[in-house]
Amino acid sequence: MKQWKGFITGILVTLLVLGLGGAAFAAVAQKQATLDYNDIKITLNGSAVTPTDANGAAVEPFAIDGTTYLPVRAVANALGLGVEWDGATKTVKLTSEGAAAPAAPSIPGAYSRTNPAPIGTAQSVSLESYSYGKYSVTAVIEESIRGDAAWKKIQAANQFNSPAPEGQEYVLVKLKVTLDSSEQDKAVSFSDFSFVPYSSTSAEYKDVVVVSPDPGFGGSVYAGGTLEGYAVYCVDKTDTAPKLVLGAGYDGSGGIWFSMV
């Protein structure tokens, strides 16, 4: 067990963690506390959740005097909630479905197949195709819902939607794509099939055909326009780090990669 003792402001604890089994610090003050790091794990509906901060760096849960604290952002993302910090009012703002936190811009070249962008991080890419010529887009996964929570929404969207195959589960993601520019001002079409799902071991998943909850993702857009909506993918239940790629070549090179969870 790792322990760390020091002064922690109450507001920092309020910002970073959710208390389980006890009241969290509420006042702005300094308190001396011992933080116990004991390899605390998080699961959602039986699937492991790896907590990360806004930049995708791992954040380890800890305990203080028998009360366990979890990172707000990681828990919110796992539950399909948006999260943001309002410094003016010192408030952690959680938003329910359809109102995810604003996308954070990415650093060009910072993400890749082996290091996909975390949820809420936008990426831009320049592409070229026979149909559209050269064009550039900015894309982001705004939110992600997995497992039973995703299936309930998919089942409610259409009574003929089938459950995920044995050993797999659905991941419902909200995609947002903006067409930044296009050659000869052509409209460019996008759909959920524009994003290809891969496992954490970089094996391609099969496409699934289900009716997505409204609003579904897809359509045509001119430069400056944006498409936003839900798309459904199917992954192994044991896969803790599935990902999506947009714009990869026929040989698998290029494109922009996103973490699905």
Query: Which pLDDT tens digit goes with each residue over 124-178?
Result: 999 999 899 999 999 999 999 999 999 999 999 999 999 999 999 999 999 999 9
SS3 179: strand
Percent of the chain with pLDDT over 70: 74
Q: Which domains does the chain have, with CATH numbers?
A: 2-95 (no CATH), 104-259 (2.60.40.1240)
Task: Return mean pLDDT, the chain.
Answer: 81
Percent of the chain with pLDDT over 90: 54
pLDDT confidence of residue 50: 73
- Flag whether pLDDT at 122 surpasses 90: yes
Question: What is the model's pTM?
Answer: 0.60
Q: Is the bond preceding 215 in cis, omega lying within 30 degrees of 0?
A: yes
Residues belonging to the chain: 261
pLDDT confidence of residue 139: 97
Give CA separation, 141 vs 132, 184, 199, in Å: 24, 28, 17
Q: Which amino acid is at 104?
A: A
β-strand partners of 139? 123, 177
What tokens appear for 104 in the block?
């954070």
- Flag whether pLDDT at 11 surpasses 50: no
Q: Which amino acid is at 10?
A: G
Non-local CB neighbours of 138 within 8 Å, separated by 6+ positions = 122, 123, 124, 177, 178, 180
Query: Which pLDDT tens digit goes with each residue over 32-64?
Result: 778 777 778 777 655 566 777 665 567 788 887
